[in-house]
Amino acid sequence: MPDVKANVFKNRLYISIEDRDQTNMFTYVQNIESACGRLSSGFSCLMVLRKNGLIHQKDKDLLFSTTDLISAYGAGKIVYVKKPNDKSSVSWLRRFYIQPFIPVEIASNIEEAEDILDCRKSEFRFSKALSA
């Protein structure tokens, strides 16, 4: 079962999906609904897909459905963490960019994702652009 946690202090949802996970959709949706219920509207989400080898269609569908679900519960931004050397996941993750209802970014590790969601990376990009 994917791991779903809410951090009320950061107003952030954490979802981790692993290779060994067998997703019971009813329980998974209940876990997400429960976690989202503890967060304020505009919360952020850090989602990690820890899969070895190819990303299967069921994994893509699960991420797409999860994005829709947490968007309906008021998520303001999502960052997906992918393996730095995983070229296959980049093209299918890009389809999330065409959904205007929620911003999606991609990070190569959890630390980078936390920086993006905490706006540290965005502020750095902005200050770097101003100094150029």
| CATH number of the domain encompassing residue 11 | 3.30.750
* Mean pLDDT for the stretch of residues 105-122: 85
For the chain, what's the residue count?
Answer: 132
pLDDT-derived band of residue 121, with 50, 70 and 90 as boundaries? low
Range of the domain at 114: 3-131
Tens of pLDDT, residue by residue over 52-79, are 666 677 777 788 888 889 999 999 999 9
d(CA 86, CA 53): 9
In 9-63, where do the E strands start and end?
12-18, 44-50
Structure-model confidence comparison of residues 90 and 52, the more confident one: 52
Cβ contacts of residue 37 below 8 Å, gap of 6+? Answer: 73
Quote the percentage of the chain above a pLDDT of 90: 40
Gyration radius (Cα) of the chain, Å: 15
d(CA 4, CA 122): 26
Could you give the number of structural domains in the chain? 1
Structure-model confidence comparison of residues 20 and 113, the more confident one: 113
CA dihedral 25, 31, 33, 34 (to 10 degrees): 160
In this structure, are residues 109 and 79 in contact, taking their beta carbons and an 8 Å threshold? no
Q: List, edge to edge, every strand of the sheet that includes 44-50.
A: 3-7, 12-18, 44-50, 77-81, 104-107
Instruction: Give residue 52's pLDDT.
Output: 67
Asked which of 78-82, 91-95, 109-113 is least confident by mean pLDDT, the reply is 91-95
* Mean pLDDT for the stretch of residues 24-45: 93
Instruction: Give residue 127's pLDDT.
Output: 42
Distances (CA, A) of 27 to 14, 39, 51, 59, 61: 16, 19, 21, 17, 17
* Mean pLDDT for the stretch of residues 82-105: 59
pLDDT surpassing 70 at residue 34:
yes
